[in-house]
Amino acid sequence: MNKKRNIGILIFDDAEVLDFAGPFEVFSVTSELNNFEPFDVFTVGENLEPISAVNGLSVNPKYGFNNAPHIDILIIAGGTGTRKVIENTTVLNWVDKVHQKTEFTLSICSGSRLLGKLGILDHQPYCTHHLVYEDLKKLVPTGQPQPEKRYVNAGKTYTSGGISAGIDLSFHLVQRLLGEEIAKQTADYMEYNWIN
Contacts of 131 (CB under 8 A, 6+ apart): 162
Can you list the domains of the chain with their CATH numbers? 5-190 (3.40.50.880)
Q: For the CA atoms of the chain, what is the radius of gyration?
A: 15
> pLDDT for 34-58, tens place per residue?
999 999 999 999 999 999 999 999 9
Nearest in space to 68 (alpha carbons), one of 52, 49, 47: 47
Predicted confidence band of residue 194 (pLDDT cuts 50, 70, 90): confident
Looking at the predicted structure, is the pLDDT value of residue 195 above 80? no
- Mean pLDDT of the residues in the chain: 96
**Distance of alpha carbon 85 from its chain centroid, rounded?**
15
> pLDDT for 125-154, tens place per residue?
999 999 999 999 999 999 999 999 999 999
| pLDDT computed for residue 1 by the predictor | 53
One-character DSSP codes across the chain: ----EEEEEE--TT--HHHHHHHHHHHHHHHHTTTT-SEEEEEEESSSSPEE-GGG-EE--SEETTT----SEEEE--STTHHHHTT-HHHHHHHHHHHHH-SEEEE-GGGHHHHHHTTTTTTSEE---TTTHHHHHHH-TT-EE-TT-SEEEETTEEEE-STTHHHHHHHHHHHHHH-HHHHHHHHHHHT-----
The pTM assigned to this predicted structure is 0.97
Looking at the predicted structure, is the pLDDT value of residue 2 above 80? no
pLDDT over 70 percentage in the chain? 98
